[in-house]
Amino acid sequence: MSSSTSQSISLTRYLIEEQRAGRINADLRLLIEVVARACKTISIAVGKGALGGVLGDAGTGNIQGEAQKKLDVLSNEILLEANAWGGHLAGLASEEMDNSHPIPDVYPRGNYLLLFDPLDGSSNIDVNISVGTIFSVLRCPDGVSHPADEHFLQPGTSQVCAGYTTYGPSTMLVLTVGNGTHAFTLDREVGSFMLTTRGMTIPEDTKEFAVNMSNQRFWEPPMQHYVSDLLAGKEGSRGKDFNMRWVASMVADVHRILTRGGIFSYPLDSKCAAKGGKLRLMYEANPMSFLVEQAGGAANTGRQRMLEVQPNGLHQRVPVFIGSKNEVETAVRYHLEHD
Ligand code: AHM
Ligand code: MG
């Protein structure tokens, strides 16, 4: 636990204090509470594993042509059901659904748009390695009561809240409403998320990188050059040895970086170039970039600050460089010098 830990502050109390300070309103507080409650339900399903009959393929595919796991589908349903009736949302969009989903007419509508990747790191579900839920909150444009896909296409700088839950040895919720990035740990006995780190801070420098090295031969020249300099260690131009970690769950890799620094990268490669990258801007890159920037880190596509990318599609993909500020800037320099 960090020195700033306070064991007695629950997520509910934290949110009420943010509301009293005028940083969030009652609707956003309710929205975050509802998402957190849904994540507790997902956490229980993930924790049951084979005993809950939730492992394995669902036998369906999503809009991106990816095979869905049972837990992908279940987590999506849990988040949809939890958020439909509260009156805080105008619409939802999910990595697992073709189009955005307006709030049904039988329920009152609010002013927020919620986007989520219900279960990130799907390839790790069946092997008992950490997975997570990532979410992002935008304002519904003024005068729009029935939002369509186009109303979600706002740059990351417009996010009012972002967070993820990691289902690992402990379940943690990491959250920002634009006033720092804070970590809450689920107290399983009490059933509440408790504030365990206030103001996560990413060291500006690092000696650790995260990338899927099996894609090396498909990368662009600046990425090849950057990573070969990392691997050259003390003897190379960087003058220090780097360690490597790759969980293949973005939530787990970014959580490690928020905790102790590092750089996470899923760059453009010739396999995913036609799609623009592997990771999704709206459900993965933008919320993680908001969280990382709020913790003093940086996030970039290699050529542009992530949060300033103007989205052109709900399921748009982007190259990602995210983490310790100076290291992200170094990786970007390799790209800009090459172009
Ligand atoms: P998913 O949302 O379908 O699970 O895919 C995203 C995941 C990220 O969590 C992770 O960083 C990446 O895909 C891993 O990709 P790879 O299997 O190519 O290493
Ligand atoms: Mg994902």
Lowest mean pLDDT among 60-69, 79-88, 173-182, 236-245: 60-69
| Structure token digits, residue 275 | 């799609």
Ligand 1 proximity of 123 Cβ (cutoff 6 Å): yes
Residue with token string 């800009």? 336
pLDDT score, position 145: 86
What whole-number distance in Å separates Cα of residue 134 and Cα of residue 41?
Answer: 15
> Do 60 and 68 touch, CB atoms closer than 8 A?
yes
User: Using CA atoms, how far apart are residues 132 and 46, in angstroms rounded to an integer?
Assistant: 10
* 152 token code pair: 């979600």
6 alpha carbon – ligand 1 mean position (Å): 33
**335 within 8 A of 329, measured Cβ to Cβ:** no
Q: Is 122 marked as a binding-site residue?
A: yes
Task: Check whether 116 has a pLDDT greater than 50.
Answer: yes
Is 123 annotated as contributing to ligand binding? yes
64 lines ligand 1 (CB under 6 A): no
Q: pLDDT tens digits, residue range 144-200?
A: 989 999 999 999 999 999 999 999 999 999 999 999 999 999 999 999 999 999 999
Going along the chain, which residue ranges are E strands?
57-61, 67-69, 89-94, 101-102, 112-120, 131-139, 161-167, 171-176, 181-187, 192-197, 208-210, 243-244, 263-266, 279-280, 298-300, 317-318, 320-323
120 alpha carbon – ligand 2 mean position (Å): 4
Query: Please, which residues have CB within 8 angstroms of residue 113's CB and are 6 or more apart in sequence?
Result: 89, 90, 91, 92, 93, 100, 137, 138, 139, 140, 147, 151, 152
In this structure, the residue with its CA closest to atom 11 of ligand 1 is 250
Distance CA 293, CA 251 (A): 16
pLDDT digits (tens, 9 = 90+) for 262-313: 999 999 999 988 889 999 999 999 999 999 999 999 999 999 999 999 999 9
Query: Is 48 known to sit in a ligand binding site?
Result: no
CB of 137 sitting under 6 A from ligand 1: no
Ligand 2 centroid distance, CA of 153 (Å)? 18
The Å distance, Cα 137 to ligand 2 centre, comes to: 17
Predicted local confidence at residue 13, as pLDDT: 97
Ligand 2 centre to CA of 150 (Å) is 21
**Ligand 1 pocket, 212 CB below 6 A?**
yes
Average pLDDT of every residue of the chain: 94
- What integer pLDDT is reported at residue 2 of this predicted model? 44
- Ligand 1: which of 249, 251, 256, 321 to mutate, most ligand atoms within 8 Å of CB? 249
Contact 55, 70 (CB under 8 A): yes
Q: Is 228 in the pocket of ligand 1 (CB under 6 A)?
A: no
Task: Report CA torsion sign: 29, 33, 39, 43.
Answer: positive
Q: Is the pLDDT of residue 7 over 80?
A: no
pTM of the model: 0.96
- Longest CA span, the chain: 66
Question: Across residues 57-69, what is the average pLDDT?
Answer: 80
